[in-house]
Every structure is written in C-alpha cells, then in structure tokens.
Amino acid sequence: MIASKHILTKFLKQAGITVNGNQPYDIQVHNEQFYSYVLGNWSLGFGETYMRGFWSCERLDEMVCRLLKSNLDRKKFVWNNIPLLFHYLSSLTLNLQSIRRAFHVGEVHYNLGNQFFSSMLDPYMQYSCAYWEKAKNLNEAQQNKLDMVCQKLYLKPNDHVLEIGCGWGGFAEYAIKKYKIHYTGVSISKEQINYAKKRCHGLKANFTLMDYRDIRGEFDKIVSIGMFEHVGKKNYADFFKGAYQHLKKDGLFLLQTIGSSRSKIATDPWIHKYIFPNGFIPSYQQITKAIEGNFHLEDWHNFGVNYDYTLMAWYDNFKNHWSQHQSSFDNHFFRMWEYYLLSCAGYFRARKGQLWQIILTKIESSQKYISYRP
C-alpha cells in the first residue's frame, strides 16, 4: 500500500496534480485503497474508485485535462496490468460491434429514460456536440448545429433524407419543418424511437428500430450525427459500403463523429464498461481508408473544442435536475455520470478528442460541392 501510494503520488505530480493539495484540480483521497486499485487498473481504476467515493476533486474536468495533456497514459508501467491487456486483446480479436451486439448500447445507455435525457439536453434532444459560434447558451448552440447540418447538405423541399442514428427525432423535426423534406430514421434504442414518433406525429417522418446494416432503399441525402462511434473499426468498410449503396448518384452524405488524432486499438475501458459498451473512436486514417474507392471527401470540419462547452452545459443541467431522478437512480449512478461528463470535458479540453463533420459524395457523382460555414 505504501509503495503504491508513493508511486502514484509521484506519477500525478508530473502532471502538476498534488494528492490532498489545495488547488481545485488536486485529488482529495478518502480511502487508501485508491492507490493500489488505480495502479492495477489505471483509467478503469480512476473511474471506479471515483464512483465508490474513494476520492474527490473540486474541478475533476480540469484534473483530467492536466492528466491527459501530460501524456502520462503512455507511460510504460500503465500497460503492465492484466485487465487493461485483456480489454485491448478483446478489441483486437473480436468484433465488439457485430449485429448480435448492436442493440446492447441502446439497452444499457439510451434506454435510461426519456425524462432523464430531456432534463439534461436541449429542447431538440441533441445528444452530440453543439456549435457554439455566436451562441449564448446550449439551446442556441444546438440549433446552430442543426441548421449548419441542413445547410451543408443543401436540403431542399421533397428531398428524401436518411438519418442513421435518429436519436429522439430532433433533427427530423427541425429539418422537416424548416426545409420540407421527407425523412427516414433508424435507431437501436426503442426509447428513442418511441419518443421520436410522438415528437414528429403528423410530419413526413418514418422511424424504425433497426441496425444500420438492415437499411433498404435509396436517398437524396444521408446524415449520421454521433452514431459512428458505435460502428467499430472492423465494420467501417460495411458501414460506408451501405451508405454508398443507399445514396443516389448525386447525393450528399454528412457524417458527424468524435475522432482521434491517433489510431487506437480500443476505447477507454471505463467508458466501455459503464457508459458506451463496445464504442470506438476513429482516427483520420481509419475513416479515409474505409471510404477510399467509393467516396470523394468534399469537406472536413473540425470543431472539437465545442464539445468541452457542450459537456459542461450537460453537466450543469444534469446536476441542477438531479433531484427529479433520485427516486430512480442512486448516488452511485450520480457519481458515475458526474465522472463521465466531466472527464469527457477534460478529454476534449486537452485536445485528445476531436469532433468532425465530414461531407462525402459518391465517386461517380457529377455534383460540384461548395463547402459551407456559418
């Protein structure tokens, strides 16, 4: 225990983080088991010990940012533990995002309850990065994002639009009402589908509980906002092959996804276990390799710094509305979501995560695309 405490304290000091220090980003340890558990499990250990109340931090988001900026996650001893190695070997050898596993994340995460998500998100229920340029609050920033997507797709009346990962129907409602499109959306969450159907009742919208590999038909435009993180690198070729087959010759495909500047083997083990089972963050190379031969890459827009602001706004809403959910969720759940939202904010603040909107056209398209920025 003493050795573990000495090693981890010295390790954190390299990132400017003092154990039991007086800065808001310093860690306050409440249980001495924190040291050995983190050394044995690293990122999984950080998250699990926080959930158990072994430590606290006034500015957890800033602590994570400092930790990641220091690149301590690449230190050699971090890899000398069996749970981490097993996690990465599983990602290498298994297709964690197969059709058989596809609905698991919907059951674990997206089906937590529409009331829960509506209290945390904006009125359009956008559970992806907002666009904060000229926005005063989360609602304006998410509406900015929705309109930017529509503008980049050059939507026009009667376009038939497919959304892969329709969420709670916010994009559908916005695009149908403002641009008079016809809409088809799919999701692997029954809660989302039920909510979206009620939201868009009477509009030209069709929602189906379905994996993206079962989609049929051709569309003028395709959009996917914050769903690609669930596809997995072993399925990228199939995902883009499907998009190619479903897109008309001169159509446009907009993909919004979290991205990484480095190709990785697997997602963070704590996020995988508690938040987004089987998720995976793509790199530039993994995307471009998968689209080669089928698509022109017309536009690549990175506004990852906006995700920090979005996550902090979600956290404020989550915390301010927590009293509404205490009868459904316990304090363990609260600390889990607090750690998720704030650590992810730190991740983007450290520029370890990017946020990309990518415009693709089919390789045989005669469409001349002009990039749009608001």
Which residues have a catalytic role annotated?
344
Helix residue ranges per DSSP H, the chain: 2-13, 33-51, 60-69, 82-93, 104-108, 114-120, 138-152, 170-179, 190-199, 236-246, 269-274, 284-291, 305-320, 331-349
CB-hemisphere CA count at 13 Å for 109? 22
Main-chain dihedrals φ then ψ at residue 206, nearest 5 degrees: -130, 120
Distance CA 84, CA 273 (A): 12
Contact indicator for 242, 213 with CB cutoff of 8 Å: yes
Beta-bridge mates of residue 221: 161, 252
**8-state DSSP, 28:** E
Which residue in 334, 233, 241 sits closest to 291, CA to CA?
A: 241
Distance CA 374, CA 369 (A): 16
Contact indicator for 346, 24 with CB cutoff of 8 Å: no
Nearby residues of 217 by Cβ (< 8 Å), 6 or more positions away: 162, 184, 246
Helix residue ranges per DSSP H, 162-207: 170-179, 190-199
205 three-state secondary structure: strand
Contact indicator for 8, 37 with CB cutoff of 8 Å: no
Beta-bridge mates of residue 3: none
> 51 exposed, middle or buried (CB, 10 Å; 0-12, 13-18, 19+)?
buried
Distance CA 247, CA 334 (A): 42
Main-chain dihedrals φ then ψ at residue 226, nearest 5 degrees: 75, 20
> 202 exposed, middle or buried (CB, 10 Å; 0-12, 13-18, 19+)?
exposed
Token code pair at residue 282: 């793509």
**8-state DSSP, 233:** G
Torsion of CA 123, 129, 130, 133, to 10 degrees: 170
